[in-house]
Structure 1
Amino acid sequence: MGTRLTSRRALGPWVGTVPITPAFGAVAHKLDSDVVMFSESQQRIYRLDKDSGSVWFDIVAGTQPDTVTQNFARRVKCAPDEASGYVSNCVAQWLAMGFLCHWPQQGSLPSVLPLRQTSAAKAGDIYSIAGARIAISFADARSKKAWEALAGHLRKQAAGSSKTQVVEANLSVDQYRDGYRIRGLSSDFTEYADPAAVAVGLKEAVMHVVLDRQPYWIALHSAALRADAGAVLLAGASGRGKTTLAALLNALGMSAFSDDVTLVSSRRPRIWGMPFSFAVKPGSWDRLRSSVPSLDRLPEFRRPDGRTVKYLKPFRHCETADKVSAIIFPHFSGGSSLQISTLPKMTGLLALLQEAISGSRQLSAAVFGSICQLLNDAEVIEMTYGDGIAAAEWVTMHFKPCS
């Protein structure tokens, strides 16, 4: 959204006895040469042109109306009446769209959702994931074995091993009819046909426990690995080669934050990981064998989506980071040479948000600002590759793993 300079006639003075201020949840951020505005109440993103963006930032800074007009006239080298008309037009549009309001604003601040209540651990093992402690118990060894393939390497302790064991959730896998069900999230439950489906269901349940506990976090569909200058995110839709590349980078020395879900917070640390095992599909097994000699010995699991996978435990993993050095959108294309190009950060923002999940089920202005900050700190790259080893070596050459 941009306000074009179409008239030299002023629409009326932008001066009054009641100050104008940004509405709650209306924010704008610079991404390279772009200015992007987000409305929390509308859950919409708008693009401002450079001229209207400069007016917005002056208003946000509390600049006096006459000075806003003078600044604009100086920046675009136009006459004062032309500048006055443009600024008045911007303000009128933003008031009408709810981005600006007269202070004091009518209504109240958005309510903050309560954090999920804690309780005593009942049974099973207590897993520590993204700052949450979750107790999980199993009806039989088969369902636990499938889950352990996916999460057995994560930090845990047995329930009852200490006196005080407070957890955010107690999840139990129960036998139900001819399969299983997971209890502990709500009165609703989903039936799972076999242990492989239980493991996938538990992974999703754990993510929702974490997001419910932190309602203003957001989950990005990306793998994340640790480099010297900050996390490297591998983002994009399923089937693009993210997991294969992440597993190869992990084998080359990059610690894994997450296999396909990266959590972003509005506070420090900004990045939280969920470092489950890499779910590698048959098409990637040949490319991984040279880096992962144990691959052939791993059991196969058939997920509910019909895909066969092996769960490859990360060689090393970590939990948090405060900065992102690169956001890479990989695309595997068999037989292709390695192609690297820089993406506009606005393109990266829209791609990240396309498949994101927020804890409050709505994106907050604060988390939107965190994502913009991560993008401004990072290189945003599109990568097409046919040789996974060559692609992984390029990443480690440009984003050195931590020693």
Structure 2
Amino acid sequence: MEIDLSGQGGEAFPWLESQLASAPGVRRLRVGERSVLFCERRQQLFELNATADTIWRSLAAGHAPSMVVHEVRALGASPAEALSFVIASARSWLAAGLLAPAEVAARCGQTPDAEIHLRLSELTCTLALHGPAHDPLWRELELVFTQFLTARSEGSAHISLVCEAGHVFLFFAGAPLGLFTIDQLIPEVKAILTEAISRSLSDGWFLLHAALLRCGHRGLLISGAPGAGKTTLALALAARGLGYGSDDIVTVSPAGHLRGIPFSPAVKSGGWELAAAHAPQVLGLPIHRRGDGQQVRYVPIDCFAKGDVETLGWALILDRRPDAKPRIEPIEPLAMIAELISGAYCPSHVLRADTLDAFAAGFGGADCRRLIYADLTQAVALIEEMIGG
């Protein structure tokens, strides 16, 4: 019996006649009576039911999805069910980076249509773009990452973006990372760069989940739980003239010096109206979708804080509460340090005592406070009063 692949399901999946190759480090395992896929890169197991197991084994053997449909049909599925099963399975594995179309992987190894070269702290990275050079996506990548643009560097990390059928395949060092829609792309590239930065840190360095700004030669470090408002506050303070170091990631050197990774502030949908009071352009910027489902807009910044911050002037913990009376309360430096290192990342997963000693020494002359607030404008006024006093 012939299976009609020309219907809506077939049109929605452009790789029915393609060979889908399994990614390096992906292996099918048999555990008792059950089958799983193990992805070495993700360090994850993906369980396969009997139909999915048949589909994976057939795809891994080099059969095109259209041929696999016939194999699933032989198991007793109707033509429509077989087509739906194969497309759903293949699409999920493509999205997870477990598979990639052979022709797309081949394009990844060819000369790109354009390249963007970046330097982020000690990390150098090349974004290789395979697609129309006039595609507005490339211009948007340059705008969001413009602060990192640099000359070509040998030995840099390599991210390839291959446009295909209205989607983009991402590859890192030649290995597939997944299939993404256009609105998912920039958040995903940022996530890849963030992970690459963390892996590139030399011994003795560590990362803080914090915002960093500069006032004169002194730094302002801002910590807080997710949703406390670090990004909108950092954006508002930068709009008021402080040097912008980061809204999210700060590196600490073995000497205790701070350096922000100045990704463009990613303002979540709930903060767009608040941010617009300080950066009106935010409401007209493209909307992107992060891996956690949050919608964000990336706001370009002009006033960057270049170089390391060697002297910490102020450190704040944010405490946003509905209807709270805005106030700044002093806290012990030890409480501030404990808050910061609780979310710190070290490449060796061990924070060295000498590095922590140097970091803690920087708090000797710092003004450590807790900022309790509900309104962004009032919070900005309190901080300006604090750093101007």
* TM-score in terms of structure 1 length: 0.61
For 2:387 and 2:295, locate their aligned partners in 1 and report how far apart those are by CA, in whole Å. 32
For 2:221 and 2:144, locate their aligned partners in 1 and report how far apart those are by CA, in whole Å. 21
What does residue 157 of structure 2 align with? 169
What does residue 147 of structure 1 align with? 141
Instruction: Kindly indicate whether structure 1 or structure 2 has the higher relative contact order, using CA contacts under 8 Å at least 6 residues apart.
Output: 1
For 2:385 and 2:149, locate their aligned partners in 1 and report how far apart those are by CA, in whole Å. 31
For 2:137 and 2:353, locate their aligned partners in 1 and report how far apart those are by CA, in whole Å. 40
For 2:166 and 2:144, locate their aligned partners in 1 and report how far apart those are by CA, in whole Å. 23
The runs of at least 4 aligned residues of structure 1 exceeding 6 Å deviation read: none
For 1:170 and 1:197, locate their aligned partners in 2 and report how far apart those are by CA, in whole Å. 19
Judge conservation of contact 2:128–2:159 (CA < 8 Å) in 1.
yes
Residue by residue over 1:64-108, the C-alpha shift from the partner in whole angstroms, topping out at 9 and shown as x without a partner, is xxxxxxxxxxxxxxxxxxxxxxxxxxxxxxxxxxxxxxxxxxxxx
For 2:198 and 2:372, locate their aligned partners in 1 and report how far apart those are by CA, in whole Å. 32
What does residue 327 of structure 1 align with? 315
For the structure 1 residues 394 and 315, does the alpha-carbon distance in structure 2 shift closer, same or farther, using more than 3 Å as the test?
A: farther
The answer as to 2:389 corresponding to 1:372 is: no
Alignment partner for residue 123 of structure 2, among 114, 125, 132?
A: 132
Judge conservation of contact 1:128–1:134 (CA < 8 Å) in 2.
yes
Aligned AA for 1:156?
A: T
Identity %: 21
For the structure 1 residues 366 and 184, does the alpha-carbon distance in structure 2 shift closer, same or farther, using more than 3 Å as the test?
A: farther
Aligned AA for 2:271?
A: S
For the structure 1 residues 211 and 186, does the alpha-carbon distance in structure 2 shift closer, same or farther, using more than 3 Å as the test?
A: farther
Q: How does 1:243-392 map to 2 (within 5 A)?
A: 243-267=231-255, 270-319=257-306, 320-392=308-380
Residue by residue over 1:22-41, the C-alpha shift from the partner in whole angstroms, topping out at 9 and shown as x without a partner, is xxxxxxxxxxxxxxxxxxxx
For 1:245 and 1:233, locate their aligned partners in 2 and report how far apart those are by CA, in whole Å. 12
Aligned AA for 1:243?
A: T
Larger mean CA deviation between 219-228 and 204-213 belongs to: 204-213
Does the residue aligned with 1:294 lie in a helix, a strand or coil? helix
For 1:375 and 1:139, locate their aligned partners in 2 and report how far apart those are by CA, in whole Å. 47
Aligned AA for 1:168?
A: S
Q: How does 1:98-137 map to 2 (within 5 A)?
A: 124-137=115-128
For the structure 1 residues 396 and 192, does the alpha-carbon distance in structure 2 shift closer, same or farther, using more than 3 Å as the test?
A: farther
State the 1:175 CA deviation: 4.7
Judge conservation of contact 1:172–1:184 (CA < 8 Å) in 2.
yes
Does the residue aligned with 2:325 lie in a helix, a strand or coil? coil
> What are the ranges of 5 or more consecutive residues in structure 1 without an aligned counterpart?
1-120, 160-164
For the structure 1 residues 185 and 397, does the alpha-carbon distance in structure 2 shift closer, same or farther, using more than 3 Å as the test?
A: farther
For the structure 1 residues 142 and 318, does the alpha-carbon distance in structure 2 shift closer, same or farther, using more than 3 Å as the test?
A: same
Aligned AA for 1:136?
A: L
Judge conservation of contact 2:188–2:291 (CA < 8 Å) in 1.
no
Judge conservation of contact 1:179–1:191 (CA < 8 Å) in 2.
no
The answer as to 2:181 corresponding to 1:194 is: yes
Does the residue aligned with 2:362 lie in a helix, a strand or coil? helix
For the structure 1 residues 192 and 356, does the alpha-carbon distance in structure 2 shift closer, same or farther, using more than 3 Å as the test?
A: farther
Count the aligned residue pairs: 273
For the structure 1 residues 364 and 192, does the alpha-carbon distance in structure 2 shift closer, same or farther, using more than 3 Å as the test?
A: farther
For 1:318 and 1:383, locate their aligned partners in 2 and report how far apart those are by CA, in whole Å. 23
* TM-score in terms of structure 2 length: 0.63
